[in-house]
Amino acid sequence: MLIALLCASVQSGSGPVDLPRLLAELTDRTVLARFPEPTYRAFLSSSNDPASLVPGGDPFANADAGHFQPTEREHPGDEHVLLDALGPGTITRIWSANPEGRLRVYVDDTGTRDSAPVLDVDMRAFLTGRGSVSAPLASERARGANLYLPIPFARRVIVTADHPGSLYYHVEWRRYAAATEVTSFASGDLERHAGPIARANAAWTSIEAPRGEDSFTYHLSRQVPEGELLAEGPRAAVGPRAVSELRLRVDAADRARALRTCVLRLVFDGETTVAVPLGAFFGAPEDLRPIRSWFLSVDESGDLVARFVMPYRESFDLRIENAGDPDLHISGVVRTIPWSWDERSLHFHALWRASGPLPTRPMQMVRHARVVGRGVLVGDLLAIANPVPEWWGEGDESITVDGERLPSHWGTGTEDAYGYAWCDPTPFQAPLHGQTRCDGPGNFGRTDVYRFRVLDAVPFERELDYALENWHWADTTIERAACVVYYARPGAKDDAPPVPRDPSTLLPKLPFRRVAGAVEAESARVAATSPGLACERQAYRGTDWSGGLQLWARAQEDGDYLELEIPAEPGRRTITVLATRSYDYGILRFSIDGSAIETRFDARSRAAGVVEGGVQVPLGEHLVGNSFRLRVEVVGTSVEAEGPRRYFGLDAIVVR
């Protein structure tokens, strides 16, 4: 049974929707700043069964969904239907965590038993950029495969996989109003439109902003603590125009603190539509983590760049409130482009919401945004503080538009919503999704991710409700903060709480003590080790380590050692090591800059399975320079059992 949509009237467009036009839209930032034309509704089909949302398991309860149960009679055997949807429409993104087998796409009249698909490809190769579409339009990041190549269809599309197993997938798609003219994807289109595909890949690689002219300068300093936005001249500043690039430079003794203690406010035509901590807006809520995405860039020199196109009819204002260092200096340039303001023009919005401690039992939906008005959801940046090594990303994504009974987007997990932001040793980045911070070890600590939408942006006529479920493998608490980006017509409102003057008080925090003035051992530079000694950052539930981590060394025999380089103020200093105890730890000896200390420390815990933290080992007073070498050496064990029993852990080093 095929479920039809109630369709809105079609607004005038510029010819049929086809692959070249969609690729041009994918790389045109101005498109998002107007309500879509032709109009469409956005949907997500996923491996998360929509029937689970409905009492009694009715998968058709949301009649507006426009997609259907698998059509086994048309695709018998081992083909599993990922999407069966009525047109006119466009597939905008396909994601999978474990793509295998053949991916087949049937369009219009090809969706019958004996017809040939317009695409019949190796799913893993095609989605990861090793097939006929290269990166970044198709790429693998942190074990997640993402395909952004649009696949238009006039009447119907069926997407199948012949090796489903426990396949995790998202297929995002648009459904246009009924009379929209769409040129369906056809066999040979990848070769036929190789030029537009190559141009889209090149644009995403270069990430250049739309051409604009310098229209405003910004300056904040001790002499101008309120900040000052100056127009270069009426012609280049008075609307209607659109900001095409916002470029700020932060100069301070502690730039990371500036990102935490400043609030960015943008005002368009008298409406404050952006009120976000400065770092959170640029995807660097706590420190300068390099970012290079389609909309935002951050580099280690302190330059912050936003490339969202932000129209205004008459006026634009920028304000930065500084609750931190009075000597902070911020300078900036705002570039603008001409803009024709009409009834489809939208103001740019960004809201910020911090959760505070959230229990992970029972599961709960946590709202990121509720917007009343007419607009388009573009994406968000999420910061997580996870106090345990277990995984935090199982909660489902929910996007509900215009009061629909069931969410039109019901995803398979937080990590999937962000293009598979799985904890990875090296943070990854792509134009529209990425992970810019991942502390570790494992899933412990802070993780920052972002996800932006272009073809898969979500329009709404009256209201939008966006939430992520809080579901964790561990029974613990986590903290989250999200910066949500959307466009809306003037007068739209969201329910974000006011941002405090000093937003650092609400940033996600780990619930651990920190020893004042201590150097965390897990963050200190390992200057030398005995051959083959393995050492790593370690998190362990139920401990009282400073910062929640220790440096763990898996020593195997007497004489194994490591040396840490510890920064210090020159002079005579009293040095104390905060060590840890466990049942399989050894006996330790210490030295400072080659000078041995007679103290021996037995690191074995007498209670089986008990890990003790913060055990003070005084090393006395020493004359040091700007740094010193702390050597820790295993000299024996008090454990009788077989095995190494010479491991050891260091929590922190206190220098007074």
- Helix, strand, coil shares, percent, the chain, to 5: 10, 45, 45
Closest CA to 460 of 374, 539, 340: 374
pLDDT of 19 higher than 70 = yes
**Token pair for 530:** 């005995």
Give the mean pLDDT of 395-421.
88
> From CA 203, how far away is CA 110, in angstroms rounded?
33
Tens-place pLDDT, residues 114-158: 678 999 999 999 999 999 999 999 998 878 899 999 999 999 999
User: What pLDDT band is residue 104 in, cutting at 50, 70 and 90?
Assistant: very high
> From CA 30, how far away is CA 49, in angstroms rounded?
35
Give the mean pLDDT of 578-607.
92
pLDDT of 553 higher than 50 = yes
Beta-ladder partners of 106: 158
Strands 89-96 and 144-147: antiparallel
Q: How many CB atoms lie within 10 A of CB 37?
A: 14
Give the mean pLDDT of 159-173.
86
pLDDT at 413: 86
Report in angstroms the alpha-carbon separations of 541 from 88, 395, 521, 537, 538.
52, 22, 18, 14, 10
| pTM score of the predicted model | 0.90
> From CA 411, how far away is CA 420, in angstroms rounded?
12
pLDDT at 192: 96
pLDDT of 66 higher than 60 = no
pLDDT of 9 higher than 50 = no
pLDDT at 423: 57
- Name all domains of the chain by residue range, CATH numbers in brackets: 19-206 (2.60.120), 210-343 (2.60.120.1390), 346-499 (2.60.120.1390), 518-655 (2.60.120.260)
Tens-place pLDDT, residues 22-53: 999 999 999 999 999 999 999 999 988 655 54
Longest dimension (CA), the chain: 86
Closest CA to 93 of 407, 425, 543, 431: 431
**Torsion 206-207-209-210 (CA) sign:** positive
Tens-place pLDDT, residues 356-367: 899 988 888 899
pLDDT at 277: 97
pLDDT at 15: 86
> From CA 527, how far away is CA 382, in angstroms rounded?
35
Tens-place pLDDT, residues 238-266: 989 999 999 999 999 888 899 999 999 99
Tens-place pLDDT, residues 190-226: 999 999 999 999 999 998 887 899 999 999 999 999 9
pLDDT of 4 higher than 50 = no
pLDDT at 399: 96
Buried b (16+ CB within 10 A) or exposed e, 565-603: ebebeeeebebbbbbbbbbbbbbbbbbbeeeebeeebeb
Tens-place pLDDT, residues 487-532: 999 999 999 999 999 999 999 999 988 898 899 999 999 999 999 9
pLDDT of 5 higher than 80 = no
Q: What percent of the chain has pLDDT over 70?
A: 90
pLDDT at 226: 93
pLDDT at 649: 95
pLDDT at 579: 95
Higher-confidence position of 543 and 94: 94
- Using left for φ > 0, alpha for ψ between -120 and 50, and beta otherwise, residue 439 falls in alpha
For residues 470 and 362, the answer to whether their CB atoms sit within 8 Å is no
Q: How many CB atoms lie within 10 A of CB 166?
A: 7
pLDDT at 533: 96
Mean pLDDT for the chain overall:
88
pLDDT of 578 higher than 90 = yes
Give the mean pLDDT of 403-408.
91
pLDDT of 11 higher than 50 = no
Give the mean pLDDT of 428-439.
87
Least confident of 84-98, 330-344, 425-439: 425-439
Tens-place pLDDT, residues 595-653: 999 889 999 987 766 788 889 999 999 999 999 999 999 999 987 766 678 999 999 99
